Structure 1
Amino acid sequence: MSDKRSPLADIIGLMRIEDPGREELTARCVELTHAVYPHHQVHGQYCTIHEYVECPPELTYDYLRQGHHLEEWTCSLRDFAPTGIPGLWVGRDRIEEDTRIYCRVVANPEAMTVDYHCSWDQGEKLWMIYLMRVLPALDVLGRPGSVIVWTNCRHPYYDVNPHPELAPRPDRPWVGDYWDLFYAGHTLEMNNLKAILEHRHRNGLPIGIPAPGTGRTP
């Protein structure tokens, strides 16, 4: 006699329509749906924002993958220059005085993902990772343009600076002190990104700007 027991039977906590059933599954979804959510529940461990942009996805991706454009659309990242290590760049995060930020861009043209691997003060372990994906809006919204999805995960180093000895001064605030403002700050930056891309596309201008210096693409 064959054993038809589900391979999922021993996994505790699953909610599937087969068990406990449609009514209880629906009731659980209603229970999890609220009119108001605490900030820590929505943004405590992850920070995700998204935006529609009236600019073709290929052009949007191409703009994002060129790291020197961070100096245009971010609120505070400026003055990137090569470190001497291929692909690794260092700039200033002007949100705090004399703070260096290191950055490496990891991009995938097929999936149109652009990940900025960054860190304050040192470039050996790039643990601040800004994950971005460009979606063709025609596929997901039924209209031309792009949808940009941007996610940050709360790495433990946001809570504790792993290299306090590298800070420019002992009283310099740490990047993790700003975590509760990430959603608001990244929303401002996404608005910048949208405004730049839409303005240039609408007016027939080149989407990107020439990289300063020779081969400067952080």
Structure 2
Amino acid sequence: MTETSDSHPRRDVRGVQVFDGFLDAVAQAAMVADVRAIARAAPFVVPVTRRGQPLSVRMTSAGLLGWVTDRRGYRYEARHSSGVPWPPIPDSVRAVWDAVVPGARPPESCLVNWYGPDARMGMHQDRDEGDFNQPVVSISLGDDALFRIGNVERGGKTESLWLRSGDVLVLGGAARLLHHGVDRVAPGTSTLLDAPGRINLTLRVVSDETSVPSR
């Protein structure tokens, strides 16, 4: 079940708040069903960089805005590449945000990444948003992933931890702009999904307070 942040233990890793096992098995299964509904409305795509290089993850989104990357660069869009609006953020996902960052503004975007067994994500910052005072919340479902946390500036010493199904991270405050990435996935470490791999949901506030988006 989803708990409040006060009732669930957390640990601090370089300023990132880690809620181990925040979602139990029942809540995880329900959230996977909600993610599948998102993917039916806005199918996963293989994103590419400005140079046309494909990422190893597949992506979709929910909410008022979805994060996209293609030859035009990194940005948020109000519609899927097919032209349909993004589906709403499921209540099960929004409940996690409300529990772990109760004082934050409502999330406007939920990026959904599907990591196959060989997928990874290079070190990066989440900095395409307009209000860095608002946190980023990350939810892990499926196989374990080796998550690496760096520094605000690129380079320097990093620290890694294994994220397991049901874990939740909060990047806020001084940790909001830390570089982070996923070095690898450990196939077969979870039986939650129908196939080896991992789902990551990342909730963000996109706009500054003076430019809240609408449909």
TM category, shorter:
under 0.3
Higher share of residues assigned helix = 1
The normalised TM-score by structure 2 is 0.25
Between Structure 1 and Structure 2, which shows a larger proportion of strand residues? 2
TM-score (norm. length: structure 1): 0.25
